């Protein structure tokens, strides 16, 4: 019931979307998790989503507590939940570090992207060649424009699809930040610089009415 209260509160605030994770049962087969997730959405949440006319979606962040992070799983979920009040909080950066093409994926699921995160990923190739994909330090999140994503193509997919939701700059780029210490302000200048650069980069690919 807690998430239903979140949906109701979001509706009161005038929001049209509420994001979450898909949850997860570590060790359980993917198909079982798909069926249980779809059943919960259809029976518990969809009546509320339709009543409030609000969208619900999960971020594709790879973790044990969020099993639905790859396109093959999304296909199965959307087959069982055809109602478009359920969709994706799409973050292309998580696909890049899994070597999944975010442009092709966005195009394929363009009608189910309800919101998203503007974040990029850099692959540090010299480190990857030393430690492999199970090692550490071979990828890192970057602000938009300083990683591998082709942002003009990605934004074109969204615009062609008629996307009208929200994409938030999710700043997790350590290069444009400083470690939190008692001497540093809560919002240090380095972090502000990261947001400013991200906004400046993204605006060049958006129509003036959206930028």
- C-alpha to C-alpha distances, 128 to 59, 80, 112, 181, 211, nearest whole angstrom: 26, 38, 33, 30, 36
Q: What is the pLDDT of residue 211?
A: 62
Question: How far apart are alpha carbons 91 and 89 in whole angstroms?
Answer: 7
pLDDT at residue 147 tops 90: yes
Share of the chain above pLDDT 90, in %: 90
Instruction: Write out pLDDT tens, residues 30-63.
Output: 999 999 999 999 999 999 999 999 999 999 999 9
Q: For the ranges 42-56, 156-170, 174-188, which has the lowest average pLDDT?
A: 174-188
pLDDT at residue 84 tops 90: yes
pLDDT at residue 207 tops 90: no
Q: What is the pLDDT of residue 182?
A: 65
pLDDT at residue 181 tops 70: no
Question: How far apart are alpha carbons 135 and 132 in whole angstroms?
Answer: 5
pTM of the prediction? 0.93
Q: Return the structure tokens found at 143.
A: 């602000």
pLDDT at residue 114 tops 90: yes
pLDDT at residue 94 tops 70: yes
The sign of the torsion formed by the CA atoms of 129, 145, 193, 114 equals negative
User: φ and ψ at 18, to 5 degrees?
Assistant: -135, 125
pLDDT at residue 3 tops 70: yes
């Amino acid at each position: 019931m807690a998430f239903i209260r979140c949906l109701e509160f979001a509706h009161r605030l005038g929001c049209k979307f509420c994001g979450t994770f898909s949850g997860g049962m570590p060790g359980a087969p993917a198909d079982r998790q798909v069926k249980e997730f779809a059943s919960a959405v259809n029976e518990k949440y969809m009546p509320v989503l339709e009543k409030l006319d609000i969208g619900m979606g999960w971020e594709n962040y790879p973790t044990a507590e969020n099993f639905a992070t790859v396109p093959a799983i999304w296909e199965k979920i959307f087959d069982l939940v055809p109602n478009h009040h359920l969709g994706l909080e799409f973050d292309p950066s998580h696909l890049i570090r899994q070597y999944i093409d975010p442009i092709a994926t966005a195009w394929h699921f363009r009608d189910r992207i309800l919101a998203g995160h503007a974040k990029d990923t850099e692959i540090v190739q010299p480190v990857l060649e030393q430690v492999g994909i199970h090692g550490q330090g071979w990828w890192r999140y970057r602000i938009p424009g300083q990683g591998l994503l082709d942002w003009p193509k990605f934004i074109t997919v969204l615009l062609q699809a008629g996307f009208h939701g929200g994409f938030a700059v999710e700043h997790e780029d350590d290069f444009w930040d400083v470690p939190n210490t008692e001497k540093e302000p809560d919002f240090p200048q380095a972090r502000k610089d990261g947001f400013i650069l991200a906004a400046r980069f993204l605006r060049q690919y958006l129509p003036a009415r959206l930028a």
